[in-house]
Amino acid sequence: MDLYILRHGIAEAVPDPPAAGDSERRLTAEGVDKMRRAATGMKTLELSFDLILSSPLVRARQTAEIVADVFGISRRVQLTPALAPDGNPALLIEELRKQHRRDKSALLVGHEPYLSRLISLLTSGDMRTSIDFKKGALCKLSAASLDYGRCASLDWLMTSRQLRRHG
Q: What is the pLDDT of residue 20?
A: 61
Q: Is the peptide bond before 113 cis (omega within 30 degrees of 0)?
A: yes
Whether 44 and 167 have beta carbons less than 8 Å apart is answered as yes
Q: Is the peptide bond before 56 cis (omega within 30 degrees of 0)?
A: no
Domain membership of residue 27 as a residue range: 2-166
Band of residue 112 on the pLDDT scale cut at 50, 70, 90: very high
- For residue 99, what pLDDT is reported? 86
Give the CATH number for residue 77.
3.40.50.1240
Using CA atoms, how far residue 110 sits from 102, 136, 144, in Å, is: 22, 10, 23
68-78 pLDDT, tens digit per residue, is 999 998 777 99
Mean pLDDT score across all residues of the chain: 94
pLDDT at 33 over 70: yes
Q: Which residue has the higher pLDDT, 43 or 21?
A: 43
Query: Which residues are 4's β-sheet partners?
Result: 107, 140
**Cα–Cα distance measured from residue 85 to residue 117, given in angstroms and rounded to the nearest whole number:** 11
User: If 0-12 CB within 10 Å is exposed, 13-18 middle and 19+ buried, where does residue 8 land?
Assistant: buried
Q: Which residues of 58-95 are buried (b: 16+ CB within 10 A; e: fewer)?
A: bbbbbbbbbbbebbebeeebebbebbbeebebeebbeb
HSE of 123, CA atoms in CB hemisphere, 13 A: 22
Q: In total, how many domains does the chain have?
A: 1
Would you state the pLDDT for residue 19?
64
Cα 116 from chain centroid (whole Å): 10
Distance, C-alpha 56 to centroid of its chain: 12
